Every structure is written in structure tokens, then in C-alpha cells.
Structure 1
Amino acid sequence: MIRKIKIKGYRTHKDLTVEPNRKFNLIVGANESGKSTLMEAVTLALTGRINGRSVAEELNPHWFNTSLVEEFIRKRISGVPVSFPEILIEVTFEDLPELQALCGAVNSHFPTAACPGVTMRISPDPECATELEEWVKSPTPLLPVEYYRYDWRSFADRELATRPKVLATAVINSQTVRSSSGIDYHLRHILGDQLEAAERAQISLEYRRVKASMSQTALNAVNTRMSSVHSTLHSRPITLAMDQSARTSWEGVVTPHVDDLPLSMSGLGQQSAIKISLAMNRHAGSARFVMIEEPENHLTHTSLVTLLSRIESLAGEQQQLFVTTHSSFVLNRLGLDALLLMGNDVAAKLSMLDSETVKYFKKLPGYDTLRIVLANKIALVEGPSDEIVFERIFRDTYGKRPMECGIDVLSMRGLSLARGLELCAALNKPGIALRDNDGIDPGELRESVDRWLKKDERELFVGEVAHGRTLEPQLIHHSGEPLLRDVLGIAAQADLLKWMTREKTEAALRISTSSKKIVPPAYMLEAVRFAHG
């Protein structure tokens, strides 16, 4: 199994290190957090191919991290002799007997350690040094990859020309299930793994026999007629025969069918489900690594339940799964234990958090956890009334809702703000937390979460004790009773604080929809300004 993944300079990842779970890895993250890039990089290192094509065929300037390229060009223009950008993808495996052929100490581990692994490096070709230096005199944002080479090696420093059998990898992307002549590259390999060597040989021989018989049947009359046409230099007749070369082997024409229809004509959800089932079938045995992108795509809820059940039942001890998803249902079904949270060149596992926090988040609905992970910036508040009032103050201040500015306001509904901040810190995610003081000095409350706060990125905001223990007295203190009674429609004889405390959500909704603005509590206004940036 894969023990560590290191990616440097590849697309969105400047420098990423991931230590995946041994069996299930549910990869979750915001858009552009690098989930698909991680899957792509691992596939590249394991197979030497991408999208079914070799590195040499697919290599292009957009593989290189744009910020690293820009930094290189800027330094070279200013006269700093820095090296050309490179790409490094390094995959380290567990020290298993079947992987000993890949074992060695030629890797980036520090201190030096001998273990099984593979490295894909894309770097300038030394033979093209002159051309590269000529190019850099007038550079463009796109590197001249024509002068680059790729080097695919094991940690034993042996060059790899084809994928080692022990690294058999199945790739299923439900977003782009491609079919060329009814069967794509990855499915061809998956199907090939279902056949024994003797079966493959028998099919190949039979296919050759069928092609050869065509010369004696359908092509015979044509060849007889053409034999009378003397059009060649030496007056030898032209005949037609079936191509027997490797490019016309049976794998290219034998296609899977479902209910007597070619698989390529099935729905995309059906294609994806079949590929996943075939890849994970224990008979195949060799699909050690299975990469699945967003299995929820193209599937109804019922079909997704069936597929996830199949994944659970087929998953073997000798298989490692990597699954990207935006579905809280997939997350809940396959387990928070398997969660791998992507963000800002960081891949955090829940196991990296405090053990009590891990237990805590297992009890949370998956949707809340996903919202923290997927938000560009998060505002954690204690309850629905805080959420509603915060959004109104934000809209009054900036003319937009927080979500329009990339800020997700999440009510923890009485759950721990400290746990949420710890998760944000593990993801290096910017955000704020708002809470009532409950009669405790704000400085004391801050001390309990200070380890997860970060200057100008994550901050805790608490109402002053002198202005009330909770949100409602804070609102009354800053806006004054007359204005609040007018906004809320509360008669003069009613106890305003008692009503607001009893009808927390109703009060917040009336504030939110009122044509009149309230005077915001100081700590909330500070939080709004901090969140906006």
C-alpha cells in the first residue's frame, strides 16, 4: 500500500505531502484545492501514463505550477541564476515482500531510508541546455517542454519503461467516462485482468483464425476478380487480406455489452458502476490501487446506495482506494475515518486532530463537516439567531451577503466552536468564530482556543461582559430599546429582553427582514470587518 505521496511543482501543488490511509481515502476539498490533481499525479507515478497516454505524448507547459514558473522568470530577468522549474512526484510504499524489486534509497527521504517506491521526475534535458538558456533571454509564461525529459524510476534507481505488474492501477472517472471504439484504455486493462493467460491466448488464436478465414470466404471473389487486373510493376496481382498485425488485435474490437447493448451506449452512471465493480473484483487480484473520481455523478440515490454497498463488499485487504467526492452521503457511508481534507497545499486527515475531536466529528452530520472543508472562508457562530443577525449586519455594511464574498456562515447549533476552529487550523483555513461571553471574561475564553488562532487569518470575537451575557442584551445595549421595539414590533408594555430571549430565532428573522437597520454589537461589527478583509 502507498505510505506517502510527495508532489512538487505539479499543477496546483507547489509542495504537497500526503500520508494516505491504508485502505479507504475519501478526498474532500473546495474547488481548485487539488483533489483531481492529486489523483492524476498518483496515477502518473504508478502507471507512467495519464489519460491513457504516455508522459511523452501528454507533457505540456500547463503541468508546471504557474507561481513557480513566474518566480523563476522574475528571478532570471533580475539576474538571479536559479534553476529551471521541475516536477517531482514520489510515491513510497509499505515494505512488503512483493515490492522488494522497487526497494532502494534513491529518494528524497530525510534522513536517508531504504524502502520501496517510484519517482516520476520531469526536468530540463541536459543536452538542450543551450536552447533553454537561449529561450530564457526572452521568456514566456509557457515553459519550452520540448527541451524537457521525463525520468521514471524505482527507489532502487532502475529505469521503468512500463508499469510494474505489482503496481496495477484502475482509474474510474465518472465525470469523463470516455469510450474509444467502445472501450477506453483503463477499462481495457481492467477487463484484461479478468482473463487468465490461457484464456487470452485462446481468444487471440481464435480471432486470428477468423480473420484468416475471411480470405477464403468474403474476400475470395474479390481477389479472383482483381487477379485479372495487372496494375503492379512486376505484373503480380493485388489481393486483399485481413491485417494480422498487433494493432488489430482482439482487444481493440471485442467490447463489453450490457443487456445486448455495447457498454459505450449505456448511461454514464452504468458505465462508471461497471468499471468500479470490475476493478475491485477479487478475481482480478492485480488492481492494487483503485482511483475513483466522484462516484455520485450520474447516479440516482438508489443506484448510489447500491454502488457504495458494492464498493464496501468488494474492497479487499490488498487494495487501496482513493475516492474524491462532494457528497456527504458518500462521506457518511464510507466513513469519516477515511476522510482526507484538501486545502492550500495541505492534506489533513482527521487522525491528525486530537482523538477527542475525531470522536466529536464522527457524531456530526457529514454536511456540516463538508461545509467547513469546502468554504473559502468560514464564520462559525453558536446558533441560528447569531447566523441570521451576522448576515444582516454584513449585508448592511457591505451591500452583499457573506456567501457572495466567499464566506460561509455556519451555525454550530450548540456544538463546540473550539472543535471547529481546530479543524480550520488543521486545514490552514481562514475564518472567524463568534460566541456569547456567558459571563466569562473574553480573554479567558480566548486562551482556551488560542492555539488554533492565527494573526489576520483566524480570530475569536466575544461580546463584552458589561453589555450582557448573550446576543439579545448585546443588541438591546447597542441599538437601544426604542429602535429594537420598532424593528421587532414589540409593544411598550412587553418585557423586550424576556421576549427576545424566548423567541430567539423569530427576533433574528424580524431584524433580518426589517427595512430599518439596527446598531450592531461592537464584537459582531468587528467580526464582519475581519471576515470581509
Structure 2
Amino acid sequence: MITKIRIRGYRIYNDFTLYPNPRKNILIGDNDAGKSTLMEAVSLALNGRIVGRSVLEELNPHWFNSEMVNQFVASLNAGLKPSFPEILIELYLCDDAELQLLCGAVNTSVPTTACPGVFLRIYPNEEYQDMLDEWLKNPTDLLPVEYYTCEWRSFADQELVKRPRVLSVATIDSRTVKSSNGVDYHLRQILSDHLEAPEKAAISLDYREIKASMTLGALAPVNARIGALGAALQAEPMALAMDQTSRTSWESAITPYVDSVPFSMAGLGQQAAIKISLAMKRHASKVKIIMIEEPENHLSHTSLRILLDRIESLASNEQQLFISTHSTYVLNRLGLNDLHLLSRSQPSKITDLSPETVRYFQRLPGYDTLRLVLARKVVLVEGPSDEIIFERVFKDLYKKSPMELGIDVISMRGLSLARCLELCQSVDKPVAVMRDNDGVDPVELRQIVESLLDGKKRELFIGAVADGQTLEPQLIRANGEDQLRKILGVSARADLKTWMAREKTEGAMRIAESQEALDPPKYMVEAAEFIHNA
């Protein structure tokens, strides 16, 4: 299992460290937060290759962190002599007996740490120093990667030429582009691991004999005719034969079928589900680490639910799972306590989330917890009408909507206030919560969630009982009945309180769209000021 991931200089990561969970890791973040880059880096360090090709074959200047490269070029232009940018990916592994051959202290850990691990480093090749010096005379932000080299070693300082069996990994990306024969590199790797060595040898032997029989069969009359042409220089007989070299091995000729349909012609959702199932059903001795990118892609809600059930049932203590997602459903179902919120600097990890709260959100997989976790600041309200009116109040105060200032107003829709606050606390999220008093003293209501509030990042705001039990009478008290009728366009014949209770959302929309001045309830103003300054 991976205990620590460190990435320096690779794509968006300048210097990044993640401490993954031993079993399950749910990776979330905004677009370009680095979810795919993290998985790619892990796969690169585990395999020493990328999509089946060597690092140096695929290496290009855009692999290097742009911030690091810009600083390098700026230093050169300032007359300094900085070192060339490098890429370093380190994977620290658990101290298992089977990993001892990888154990050593050749890593960047401070203080020095001796443990099993591997690293991949991309750096300037000293053999090309003359060319590098020439490039330095007129540097650009496109590094001369042609003069770079790569080393892949264990922490024991032993060079690695192929992935050690103890570092088995399966990568499933539902967005993977299919290869020309319909089976991508990762699926070929997974299928190959399902076969034992004697089975592979038997298949290879039969395939070679089949090709040989074609040479003696259908190609025989063709060869007789070609041989009579005397085309060779010394009149040696020329003939056609089936290629027996490794580039035409059985792995490249065999393709899986699904319900009598070639795998490449199956739906993309079906392909992703098959890859995931095959990878997770392999014995732990065959695969230790499984990485799944966005399992929700190409799947209907029902199919996604079936797939997540399968992932949960197949997950074992001997396998480490990494899943990136943009789906709240995936996040809630697979477990909020395994969440890593990624950014370009350092990740945030949910801490001390109670098992009861995790189960609570698992039972409500449709609730938009992902939106709550990704927001920079949050205002939690009880329902849609509170959300609409608060946004009007906030814009009146600050001349911009909450979203323009990075504040997301989210309706709890009847969810437990304590559960939502616990989630915000676990990711250290600034949050202002508003709720009705429902005729109960606000001091008493506050006591229920007191341990989750700190007055700096998390605070609860409740209107006074004397001003009304819910938002509607609070608005009447703050504005006066005549002014509020004017804002809402409600005639004197209608009972204003009854109309507002019956037409909550419609009333909120009218308030939001009205050009008339609105005096908001005091607790709403306090909530807006708190979150604006948090």
C-alpha cells in the first residue's frame, strides 16, 4: 500500500504531498485541480512507463510545471545560474515483508526515512552538457527535453527495469481512447494478469501453429506461383509466410466479446464496468493498487448504482483504491470519510467525521455534498425561499451576488443541521447557517450544535422568537405590512401572513425581483456580514 505520494515539478504540481488512506481514496476537486495528474503520476512511478510506452518516448516540455519553468527562465534572464527544472515522483510504501527489497533511505524525506518505496526522476543528461549550455544562451519556456534522461529506482537505490510484481496496479479510465484493435493498453494488462503462465504459453503455442498452418495451407499455391517468378537476386525461392515475431503475438490478435459483440463495440459504460470488475476480482497477489477515473461517465443512474454496489462488494483490505469523481452520488455512496479535496498546493482531508454522519449521507446519496465541499464559503439555509431572499439581501449589502464573491448558498432541504455542520467542520469550511426558531428560544437551539461552532469560521444565526417563528413573519416585522404588500404586489384583501406561508417560493421570487427597498431581518444581515468577512 502507498503511504505517501510526493510530486515535484510534474504538470500542475510544483511541490505536492498526499497521504492516502490504506483502503479507499475518493479524489475530488475543481476542474484542473489535478485528479487525473495525480493518478497519472502514481501510475508512472509504479510502471516506469506511460500508456505502455517509455517515459523518454512520451516526454515533452509540457510535463514540467509551468511555474517552476517560468521561475527558471526569469532567473536566467536576471543573470543567475539556476539548476534546470526536474521532475520527481516518489511513492512511499508500507513496511511489509514482501516489499523489503525496495527498502532504503534514498528519498527526499526530512528527517531521513528508511522505508520501501520507488521514485522516478527526469533530469538533464550530463552527456549533452554542451547542447544544454548552448540552449542556455537563448532560453525559452520550452525546455530542451531531447537532452533529458530518466531514472526509475527503488529507495534501496536499485535500478528498476520493469515493475516489481509486488507493485501490481490496475488503471481504469472510462474516457480511455480505444486502440486500433479495440482493446486499450490497460485492458490488455488486466486480461493478461488473469491468465497463469502455463495458459499463456499454451495459447502462444497454438497461435503460432495456426499461423504456420496458414503458410502450408491457403498461402501454399500463392507461394508456388511467386517462387516461379525468379525475383530473388540468385534465384532463391521467395514465399509468403505468417509473421511469427513478437509484434504479432496473440495478445494483439485476441479481443474480448460481450454478449457476442466485440468489446470495442460495446457501450462505453459497459466497457468501464467490465474493466473495473476484472481489475477488482483479481487476487490481491495480482493487483495491489486500483485507480478508477470518473466511474460515473457514460452510465445511467441505475447502472451507476449497480457499478458502485459492485465496487463496494469487491473491495478488500488487501487492495488500495483510488477513485476520482465529479459525482455527488459516487462521493456519498463510497464514503465521505475517504475524501481528499485536491488543489494545486496541498490537499485537504476529511478528519474526525463520525461513522454515523458517513452513514447518514450514504442513505441520502442524492444530496449535493460535493457542492458543499468544493465551495470556498458556504451559507446553509433551510429551503429554497430562504436561499432566494438571502441572495437579494446579500446583493443589497455588497452590490454583488454571493457567488461572485465565492460564496455558495445551499439549501439543507430538511437535512440534519448537525450533520451538515460536522461535514463543514471536517473540511474546515467557512459556513454561516440560518434557521427558523420555530417558537423555540434560539439559545436552546444553539446548544444542540454548540460544539460545531467557533464564531470565526462556523456560526449559527436565528431570528428572535418575538419577531416570528419563521422567515415570513420576520420579514413582515422588519418591513411593516404595507411595505411588504407593495414589494409582493399582494392586495389588502388577502391575509398577508397566510399568503406568504402558502406561496413561499413565489413570494421569494417577487422579493428578489422587486425594485422596492427591502429591510431584511437582523439575523440575515448578521449572517451576510459574517460570511463576507470569514
Unaligned runs of 5+ in 1: none
After superposition, residues 353-372 of structure 1 pair within 5 angstroms as: 354-355=352-353, 359-360=356-357, 362-364=359-361, 365-366=364-365, 367-372=367-372
- Name the SS for the 2:313 alignment partner: helix
- Name the SS for the 1:3 alignment partner: strand
Residue number in structure 2 paired with 1:95? 95
Residue number in structure 2 paired with 1:153? 153
Q: CA deviation at 1:110?
A: 2.2
Residue number in structure 2 paired with 1:279? 279
Aligned residues: 518
CA distance, structure 2, for counterparts of residue 75 and residue 461 of structure 1: 50
1:93·1:115 contact (CA, 8 Å) conserved in 2?
A: yes
Q: CA deviation at 1:402?
A: 4.3
Q: CA deviation at 1:471?
A: 6.6
After superposition, residues 349-428 of structure 1 pair within 5 angstroms as: 349-350=349-350, 352=351, 354-355=352-353, 359-360=356-357, 362-364=359-361, 365-366=364-365, 367-375=367-375, 377-384=376-383, 385-394=385-394, 402-403=402-403, 407-412=407-412, 415-416=417-418, 419=422, 421-425=424-428
Question: Residues 266-296 of structure 1, C-alpha deviation per residue, up to 9 Å, x if partnerless?
Answer: 1111111111111122358412111111111
- Shift in alpha-carbon separation, 1:96–1:184, aligned structure 2, 3 A: same
Question: Residues 80-115 of structure 1, C-alpha deviation per residue, up to 9 Å, x if partnerless?
Answer: 433222222111111111111111111122222211
Residue number in structure 2 paired with 1:433? 432
- Shift in alpha-carbon separation, 1:452–1:198, aligned structure 2, 3 A: farther
Question: Residues 213-254 of structure 1, C-alpha deviation per residue, up to 9 Å, x if partnerless?
Answer: 222111111111112212222121221111111111111101
1:463·1:474 contact (CA, 8 Å) conserved in 2?
A: no
Q: CA deviation at 1:298?
A: 1.3
Q: CA deviation at 1:190?
A: 0.9
After superposition, residues 189-338 of structure 1 pair within 5 angstroms as: 189-283=189-283, 285-338=285-338
Q: CA deviation at 1:153?
A: 0.8
- Name the SS for the 2:342 alignment partner: strand
- Name the SS for the 1:346 alignment partner: coil
Between stretches 402-411 and 304-313, larger displacement belongs to: 402-411
Return the letter of the residue paired with 1:24. Answer: K
CA distance, structure 2, for counterparts of residue 473 and residue 252 of structure 1: 73
CA distance, structure 1, for counterparts of residue 4 and residue 308 of structure 2: 26
1:31·1:374 contact (CA, 8 Å) conserved in 2?
A: no
1:152·1:161 contact (CA, 8 Å) conserved in 2?
A: yes
- Shift in alpha-carbon separation, 1:529–1:380, aligned structure 2, 3 A: closer
2:105·2:115 contact (CA, 8 Å) conserved in 1?
A: yes
Return the letter of the residue paired with 1:161. Answer: V
- Name the SS for the 1:127 alignment partner: helix
Return the letter of the residue paired with 1:419. Answer: E
Return the letter of the residue paired with 1:94. Answer: C
Question: Residues 446-478 of structure 1, C-alpha deviation per residue, up to 9 Å, x if partnerless?
Answer: x9888795xxxx68696999x979977886687
Question: Residues 121-159 of structure 1, C-alpha deviation per residue, up to 9 Å, x if partnerless?
Answer: 122223334433443443322222222222111110111
Between stretches 492-501 and 279-288, larger displacement belongs to: 492-501
Between stretches 106-115 and 121-130, larger displacement belongs to: 121-130
- Shift in alpha-carbon separation, 1:71–1:287, aligned structure 2, 3 A: same
- Shift in alpha-carbon separation, 1:460–1:452, aligned structure 2, 3 A: closer
Between stretches 292-301 and 336-345, larger displacement belongs to: 336-345
CA distance, structure 1, for counterparts of residue 395 and residue 55 of structure 2: 50
- Shift in alpha-carbon separation, 1:399–1:137, aligned structure 2, 3 A: farther
CA distance, structure 2, for counterparts of residue 252 and residue 532 of structure 1: 61
Question: Residues 415-437 of structure 1, C-alpha deviation per residue, up to 9 Å, x if partnerless?
Answer: 14753552452xxx6x5525479
CA distance, structure 2, for counterparts of residue 70 and residue 502 of structure 1: 60
CA distance, structure 2, for counterparts of residue 122 and residue 234 of structure 1: 51
Residue number in structure 1 paired with 2:76? 76
Q: CA deviation at 1:493?
A: 10
Question: Residues 387-420 of structure 1, C-alpha deviation per residue, up to 9 Å, x if partnerless?
Answer: 2122224556788754466542113466147535
Q: CA deviation at 1:177?
A: 4.7
Residue number in structure 1 paired with 2:347? 347
Residue number in structure 2 paired with 1:115? 115
2:41·2:89 contact (CA, 8 Å) conserved in 1?
A: yes
CA distance, structure 2, for counterparts of residue 507 and residue 338 of structure 1: 41
Question: Residues 478-523 of structure 1, C-alpha deviation per residue, up to 9 Å, x if partnerless?
Answer: 7566433311346779998999799876653431243434255787
- Shift in alpha-carbon separation, 1:381–1:194, aligned structure 2, 3 A: closer
CA distance, structure 1, for counterparts of residue 332 and residue 431 of structure 2: 26
Residue number in structure 1 paired with 2:50? 50
CA distance, structure 1, for counterparts of residue 374 and residue 319 of structure 2: 28
CA distance, structure 2, for counterparts of residue 26 and residue 459 of structure 1: 25
- Shift in alpha-carbon separation, 1:368–1:214, aligned structure 2, 3 A: closer
- Name the SS for the 1:182 alignment partner: coil
2:280·2:314 contact (CA, 8 Å) conserved in 1?
A: yes
CA distance, structure 2, for counterparts of residue 177 and residue 320 of structure 1: 25
- Shift in alpha-carbon separation, 1:407–1:179, aligned structure 2, 3 A: farther
Return the letter of the residue paired with 1:116. Answer: P
CA distance, structure 1, for counterparts of residue 393 and residue 501 of structure 2: 19
2:372·2:378 contact (CA, 8 Å) conserved in 1?
A: no
Return the letter of the residue paired with 1:383. Answer: E
CA distance, structure 1, for counterparts of residue 213 and residue 66 of structure 2: 57
TM-score when normalising by structure 1: 0.85
CA distance, structure 2, for counterparts of residue 517 and residue 53 of structure 1: 66
Q: CA deviation at 1:338?
A: 2.4
CA distance, structure 1, for counterparts of residue 427 and residue 121 of structure 2: 33
2:166·2:285 contact (CA, 8 Å) conserved in 1?
A: no
After superposition, residues 425-464 of structure 1 pair within 5 angstroms as: 425=428, 433=432, 435=434, 453=456
Return the letter of the residue paired with 2:68. Answer: L
Instruction: Give aligned-pair identity as a percent.
Output: 53
2:121·2:150 contact (CA, 8 Å) conserved in 1?
A: yes
2:91·2:119 contact (CA, 8 Å) conserved in 1?
A: yes
CA distance, structure 2, for counterparts of residue 64 and residue 267 of structure 1: 35
CA distance, structure 2, for counterparts of residue 435 and residue 139 of structure 1: 56
CA distance, structure 1, for counterparts of residue 461 and residue 302 of structure 2: 45
CA distance, structure 1, for counterparts of residue 460 and residue 129 of structure 2: 56
Return the letter of the residue paired with 2:127. Answer: E
Between stretches 276-285 and 38-47, larger displacement belongs to: 276-285
- Shift in alpha-carbon separation, 1:404–1:229, aligned structure 2, 3 A: farther
2:12·2:344 contact (CA, 8 Å) conserved in 1?
A: no
Return the letter of the residue paired with 2:381. Answer: E
- Shift in alpha-carbon separation, 1:450–1:142, aligned structure 2, 3 A: farther
CA distance, structure 1, for counterparts of residue 455 and residue 257 of structure 2: 55
